Amino acid sequence: MIWWPRETPNLYYGEITLRRANERDIVPIFTACQDPIIPKFTTVPSPYLMAHAEDFIRDIAPRSFAEKSEMLFAIVFGKGDEEQFCGLISFHTTSLANHTTELGYWLAKESRGKGIGKTAIALLTEYGIGTMGFRRIEALVDVDNVASKALLTSVGYNLDGILRNRVTRRDGVQIDMALFSKISD
């Protein structure tokens, strides 16, 4: 059985914290999503408007948490007034009955290549398997996203295969996705 917390917990490792995304993250989310790499490799809309960030934080994320279908975290570096927003990470497309969930994430441009993503993924994966009781965590990655595929592999995710024509982009182009997974021992 999956244990679902009453509220999004804070998870810590060194200077990196995963915490509930909230109002103070709206502007940093909007700013980060202006980087064309994020909508290229995620479902983030382009152009990304301030209204998208506001709706995501104020409505979509809280509703999804209450429905036990998504748990969203802000990835931050540092503490207190020195806290720097680095990106978002979540469990989504969750099936409590099957003990599975999908991991999704993106990092702000200035936070990439510093080990922040690796730490955030490892931290949330351990929480999902060790505390919540998921038996399988999946991650779907655009086959052209070399950095994300390497990142998942570096934290122990295995490539299960390529899902052909898995996602339709906004421009109508159908793309393949690499399916990665981490399973409980």
Radius of gyration for the chain, computed over Cα atoms and rounded to the nearest angstrom: 16
In a domain, 124, yes or no: yes
Q: Which two tokens stand for residue 4?
A: 């679902």
User: pLDDT means per 10 residues in the chain (185 residues)?
Assistant: 94 96 98 96 93 98 96 94 95 96 98 97 98 98 96 98 92 93 94
In a domain, 33, yes or no: yes
End-to-end CA distance of the chain: 16
HSE on the CB side for 117, CA within 13 Å?
A: 21
Determine the length of the chain: 185
In whole angstroms, give the CA distance from residue 27 to residue 31. Answer: 6
Domain count, the chain: 1
Q: Give pLDDT tens digits for 112-150.
A: 999 999 999 999 999 999 999 999 999 999 999 999 999
Give the global pTM.
Answer: 0.96
In a domain, 89, yes or no: yes
Domain CATH number, residue 133: 3.40.630.30
In whole angstroms, give the CA distance from residue 102 to residue 27. Answer: 26
